[in-house]
Amino acid sequence: MTFDTLAVATELKDAGFSPEQAEALARAWSHVASGELATKSDLIGVKAELEKKIDAVHSDNVLLKWMIGFTLGLSLLILGKLFAVHP
């Protein structure tokens, strides 16, 4: 992404900034703009990855709920058998 610091500095000067302030702000914004910025396609890719991970966690939770339910049911069955044999 290109950033025209001269045009920005000129606009800031026209808006009432001092030349030093305008140039400093234009340089600062230039550093920000030259860094790596995420594009829309980058965000779409990350969103798809996150959705896959969320779905995996959700399916793991469903399995875990079934396992806990089965374990509790089996434990209750065993306790019931123990108390039925030894009233």
Same domain, 46 and 76: yes
Q: What is the model's pLDDT at position 1?
A: 57
**The model scores a pTM over 0.95:** no
Residue in the structure block whose two tokens are 């030259």: 34
Do residues 52 and 86 share a domain?
yes
CA–CA distance, 61 with 70 (Å, rounded to integer): 14
CA separation, residue 84 to residues 3, 70, 87 (Å): 82, 21, 6
Q: How many helices (H) and strands (E) does the chain have?
A: 3, 0
pLDDT at 86 over 80: no
CB 30 within 8 A of CB 5: yes
Query: Domain containing 65: what range?
Result: 39-87
CB 22 within 8 A of CB 13: yes
The answer to whether residues 47 and 62 belong to one domain is yes
Q: How do residues 8-59 score in pLDDT, each as one tens digit?
A: 889 999 999 999 999 999 888 887 777 777 789 989 999 999 999 999 998 8
Number of domains in the chain: 2
The verdict on 53 and 85 lying in the same domain is: yes
**43 and 79, same domain (yes or no):** yes
Give residue 60's pLDDT: 87
